[in-house]
Amino acid sequence: MEDYQLTPLIPAQDLQKHLSAIAERINHDYADKNLVLIGILKGSFVFLADLMRLLRVPVEIDFVRLASYGTRSETSGQIEITKDIELSIEGRHVLIVEDIVDTGTTLAWYMERLQTHQPASIRICALIDKYERRSVEVPLDYVCIRIEKGFVVGYGLDFSEKHRNLPGIYEIQFIK
Protein backbone atom coordinates (compact mmCIF):
# COMPACT_ATOMS: atom_id res chain seq x y z
CA MET A 1 0.00 0.00 0.00
CA GLU A 2 1.19 3.43 -0.96
CA ASP A 3 1.50 5.90 1.90
CA TYR A 4 0.22 9.44 1.53
CA GLN A 5 -0.97 12.50 3.39
CA LEU A 6 -3.80 14.89 2.56
CA THR A 7 -3.07 18.62 2.57
CA PRO A 8 -6.04 21.02 2.60
CA LEU A 9 -6.26 22.99 -0.66
CA ILE A 10 -9.75 24.53 -0.92
CA PRO A 11 -12.08 24.66 2.09
CA ALA A 12 -15.76 23.83 1.60
CA GLN A 13 -16.87 27.46 2.20
CA ASP A 14 -14.59 28.68 -0.59
CA LEU A 15 -16.02 26.08 -2.96
CA GLN A 16 -19.51 27.46 -2.37
CA LYS A 17 -18.30 30.98 -3.30
CA HIS A 18 -16.77 29.68 -6.54
CA LEU A 19 -19.99 27.82 -7.31
CA SER A 20 -22.14 30.89 -6.75
CA ALA A 21 -20.04 32.89 -9.20
CA ILE A 22 -20.28 30.19 -11.86
CA ALA A 23 -24.01 29.71 -11.27
CA GLU A 24 -24.61 33.44 -11.79
CA ARG A 25 -22.90 33.26 -15.16
CA ILE A 26 -24.88 30.17 -16.17
CA ASN A 27 -28.16 31.77 -15.04
CA HIS A 28 -27.32 34.79 -17.16
CA ASP A 29 -26.13 32.91 -20.26
CA TYR A 30 -29.08 30.50 -20.35
CA ALA A 31 -31.73 32.96 -19.17
CA ASP A 32 -34.17 32.16 -21.98
CA LYS A 33 -33.20 28.53 -22.55
CA ASN A 34 -33.90 25.04 -21.26
CA LEU A 35 -30.77 23.34 -20.09
CA VAL A 36 -29.70 19.72 -19.88
CA LEU A 37 -26.89 19.08 -17.39
CA ILE A 38 -24.89 15.94 -18.11
CA GLY A 39 -22.76 14.87 -15.17
CA ILE A 40 -19.79 12.62 -15.79
CA LEU A 41 -19.80 9.89 -13.15
CA LYS A 42 -18.67 9.32 -10.61
CA GLY A 43 -16.59 12.38 -9.76
CA SER A 44 -19.05 15.14 -10.71
CA PHE A 45 -22.08 14.13 -8.64
CA VAL A 46 -21.37 16.31 -5.58
CA PHE A 47 -20.49 19.33 -7.72
CA LEU A 48 -23.56 18.85 -9.91
CA ALA A 49 -25.86 18.48 -6.91
CA ASP A 50 -24.66 21.77 -5.40
CA LEU A 51 -24.50 23.63 -8.71
CA MET A 52 -28.00 22.73 -9.89
CA ARG A 53 -29.53 24.08 -6.68
CA LEU A 54 -28.08 27.49 -7.53
CA LEU A 55 -29.59 27.53 -11.02
CA ARG A 56 -32.79 29.43 -11.69
CA VAL A 57 -33.19 28.36 -15.32
CA PRO A 58 -35.22 25.22 -16.07
CA VAL A 59 -32.85 22.25 -15.91
CA GLU A 60 -33.00 18.54 -16.56
CA ILE A 61 -30.16 16.28 -15.51
CA ASP A 62 -28.66 13.06 -16.75
CA PHE A 63 -25.46 11.13 -16.18
CA VAL A 64 -22.89 9.29 -18.23
CA ARG A 65 -20.19 7.01 -16.94
CA LEU A 66 -16.98 6.79 -18.89
CA ALA A 67 -14.29 4.18 -18.39
CA SER A 68 -10.80 4.91 -19.55
CA TYR A 69 -8.01 2.46 -19.68
CA GLY A 70 -4.59 3.62 -18.69
CA THR A 71 -2.36 3.82 -15.68
CA ARG A 72 -3.87 4.85 -12.37
CA SER A 73 -2.90 8.49 -12.69
CA GLU A 74 -3.05 9.04 -16.44
CA THR A 75 -5.87 8.59 -18.94
CA SER A 76 -5.06 6.61 -22.06
CA GLY A 77 -6.76 7.37 -25.36
CA GLN A 78 -9.05 4.35 -24.98
CA ILE A 79 -12.39 5.41 -23.57
CA GLU A 80 -15.70 3.59 -23.37
CA ILE A 81 -19.22 4.54 -22.23
CA THR A 82 -20.30 2.11 -19.51
CA LYS A 83 -23.57 3.95 -18.70
CA ASP A 84 -25.06 6.24 -21.30
CA ILE A 85 -27.46 9.17 -20.93
CA GLU A 86 -31.16 8.36 -21.21
CA LEU A 87 -32.59 11.77 -22.19
CA SER A 88 -32.75 12.77 -25.82
CA ILE A 89 -30.51 15.79 -26.34
CA GLU A 90 -31.32 16.48 -29.97
CA GLY A 91 -31.87 20.23 -30.33
CA ARG A 92 -31.17 20.77 -26.63
CA HIS A 93 -28.68 23.06 -24.90
CA VAL A 94 -26.25 20.77 -23.09
CA LEU A 95 -23.88 21.64 -20.29
CA ILE A 96 -21.39 18.89 -19.46
CA VAL A 97 -20.47 18.90 -15.78
CA GLU A 98 -17.04 17.42 -15.05
CA ASP A 99 -15.04 17.21 -11.84
CA ILE A 100 -11.54 17.80 -13.17
CA VAL A 101 -9.94 18.22 -16.59
CA ASP A 102 -6.38 17.00 -16.80
CA THR A 103 -4.99 16.01 -20.23
CA GLY A 104 -8.39 16.80 -21.78
CA THR A 105 -8.54 13.39 -23.51
CA THR A 106 -11.74 12.22 -21.81
CA LEU A 107 -13.78 15.37 -22.46
CA ALA A 108 -12.58 15.84 -26.04
CA TRP A 109 -13.62 12.27 -26.82
CA TYR A 110 -16.99 12.63 -25.13
CA MET A 111 -17.79 15.99 -26.75
CA GLU A 112 -17.24 14.43 -30.16
CA ARG A 113 -19.59 11.58 -29.23
CA LEU A 114 -22.28 14.02 -28.01
CA GLN A 115 -22.10 16.05 -31.21
CA THR A 116 -23.48 13.05 -33.12
CA HIS A 117 -26.75 13.45 -31.12
CA GLN A 118 -27.12 16.93 -32.70
CA PRO A 119 -27.70 19.09 -29.61
CA ALA A 120 -28.38 22.83 -30.13
CA SER A 121 -25.20 23.63 -28.18
CA ILE A 122 -22.62 22.00 -25.93
CA ARG A 123 -20.66 23.78 -23.25
CA ILE A 124 -18.44 22.51 -20.47
CA CYS A 125 -18.51 23.33 -16.78
CA ALA A 126 -15.55 22.00 -14.79
CA LEU A 127 -14.94 22.21 -11.08
CA ILE A 128 -11.16 22.11 -11.60
CA ASP A 129 -9.02 22.94 -14.61
CA LYS A 130 -5.67 21.20 -13.99
CA TYR A 131 -3.78 22.64 -16.91
CA GLU A 132 -0.13 21.57 -16.85
CA ARG A 133 -0.60 18.24 -18.65
CA ARG A 134 -3.27 19.39 -21.12
CA SER A 135 -2.58 17.63 -24.41
CA VAL A 136 -5.95 18.04 -26.15
CA GLU A 137 -7.54 21.49 -26.30
CA VAL A 138 -11.09 21.52 -24.93
CA PRO A 139 -13.18 24.67 -24.57
CA LEU A 140 -13.77 25.05 -20.84
CA ASP A 141 -16.62 27.56 -20.68
CA TYR A 142 -17.14 27.61 -16.91
CA VAL A 143 -14.32 26.79 -14.49
CA CYS A 144 -14.44 27.12 -10.70
CA ILE A 145 -10.78 26.52 -9.83
CA ARG A 146 -7.55 26.41 -11.82
CA ILE A 147 -4.55 24.47 -10.54
CA GLU A 148 -1.31 23.75 -12.33
CA LYS A 149 -0.75 20.16 -11.25
CA GLY A 150 -1.00 17.70 -8.36
CA PHE A 151 -3.49 14.97 -7.50
CA VAL A 152 -6.54 16.19 -5.62
CA VAL A 153 -9.40 14.47 -3.78
CA GLY A 154 -12.60 15.35 -1.96
CA TYR A 155 -15.92 16.93 -2.97
CA GLY A 156 -16.62 13.90 -5.20
CA LEU A 157 -13.07 13.34 -6.43
CA ASP A 158 -11.33 10.12 -5.46
CA PHE A 159 -8.04 8.36 -5.16
CA SER A 160 -8.73 4.64 -5.70
CA GLU A 161 -12.39 5.29 -4.80
CA LYS A 162 -11.52 6.91 -1.49
CA HIS A 163 -12.07 10.43 -0.08
CA ARG A 164 -15.05 11.39 -2.28
CA ASN A 165 -16.92 12.26 0.93
CA LEU A 166 -14.57 15.03 2.09
CA PRO A 167 -16.42 18.39 2.00
CA GLY A 168 -13.37 20.35 0.78
CA ILE A 169 -10.58 19.69 -1.73
CA TYR A 170 -7.27 18.19 -0.56
CA GLU A 171 -4.00 17.54 -2.33
CA ILE A 172 -2.37 14.14 -2.01
CA GLN A 173 1.24 14.09 -0.94
CA PHE A 174 2.88 10.73 -1.48
CA ILE A 175 5.39 9.67 1.13
CA LYS A 176 8.39 7.90 -0.38
Catalytic residue numbers read: 102
In 53-129, alpha helices (H): 105-115
Stretch that binds Mg ion, among 91-99, 108-116, 130-138, 159-167 (CB under 5 A): 91-99
Residues in 51-90 that interact with ligand IMP by CB under 6 A? 75
CA torsion angle for 85, 87, 90, 95 (degrees, to 10)? -70
Site for Mg ion contains 43 (CB under 5 A): yes
* Residues with Cβ within 8 Å of residue 63, at least 6 apart in sequence: 38, 39, 40, 41, 45, 83, 85
Stretch that binds Mg ion, among 46-54, 57-65, 93-101, 167-175 (CB under 5 A): 93-101
Angle between helices 45-52 and 12-29 (to 10 degrees): 60
For ligand IMP, the binding residue among 101, 124, 125, 166 (CB under 6 A) is 101
The residues with which 97 forms a beta bridge, in sequence order, are 39, 125
Write down the least CB distance from residue 164 to ligand IMP, Å: 9
Site for ligand IMP contains 129 (CB under 6 A): no
Q: Which residues bind Mg ion (CB under 5 A)?
A: 43, 99
